[in-house]
Amino acid sequence: MILSPSLLSSDFGRLADELKALEQAGLKWVHWDVMDGMFVPNITLGAPVIKRLRKESNLFFDVHLMVQQPERYVDDFVDAGADMVVIHAEATNHLERTIAEIKRKGAKAGVALNPHTPLSVLEYVLDELDMVLIMSVNPGFGGQKFIPFSMRKVAELSGMIKERGLSTLIQVDGGVDPDNTAELVRNGADVLVSGSAFFGFPPYAERLKTFEEVARSA
């Protein structure tokens, strides 16, 4: 299990310090929530912020674009230092083309699905993906409760991946905490995004240990 803490719940006034603290605590990934106020009802940060903070961190930058027409911004975010760029299937008319462009630029490519979006939209692109992000809340705000049917969706996606013999990672974002971590891992989740349930419980090294111990019990 990889834990990717969502900076949406961190102290935005101390992002460089937060990144250093995560690294010192033993984290390997960090999750950037990029919101445009159009695809989701909130605005967060853009490529210039990530570019500046890339110099401050060796963490794997897991960048989740919750924006309309993400193909307009692929170059900006890869050039800013994103290691993984995740786009929403619902946000673009040219999903395959945008995936191909992310990979052409040298980053790993992921596709996110909102809670209501069926797995069938991945039918013809799953083989091209490094990761699929299952949204277990409706995107746009932190601190929401996990939507229960998301667990079945994770299990079904895991089955699809195994059936095709792929190594595609499954990420889950929304309402993830130590109480549902074991079940998520049992159902096939590889990467867990946690915001308020992580940053709200310092010290970070101890919180990471809690998630990892629960995951090992799965």
Residue ranges for the known binding site for substrate are: 6, 64, 140-143, 173-175, 195-196
Residues 59/23, Cβ–Cβ less than 8 Å: yes
Return the axis-axis angle of helices 15-24 and 204-216, rounded to nearest 10°.
50
Question: Which CA distances in Å does 51 have to 17, 73, 76, 135, 211?
Answer: 16, 13, 9, 26, 29
Point out the annotated binding site: 6, 31, 33, 64, 140-143, 173-175, 195-196
Q: What's at 37, amino acid-wise?
A: G
Torsion of CA 128, 182, 184, 198, to 10 degrees: -90
Token pair, residue 54, equals: 């890339």
Residues 40/140, Cβ–Cβ less than 8 Å: yes
Cβ-Cβ contacts under 8 Å for 113 (sequence gap 6 or more): 88, 89, 90, 119, 121, 122, 132, 133, 134, 135, 153
Say how far apart CA 116 and CA 92 lie, in whole Å.
Answer: 16
Point out the annotated binding site for a divalent metal cation: 31, 33, 64, 173
Residues forming the active site: 33, 173
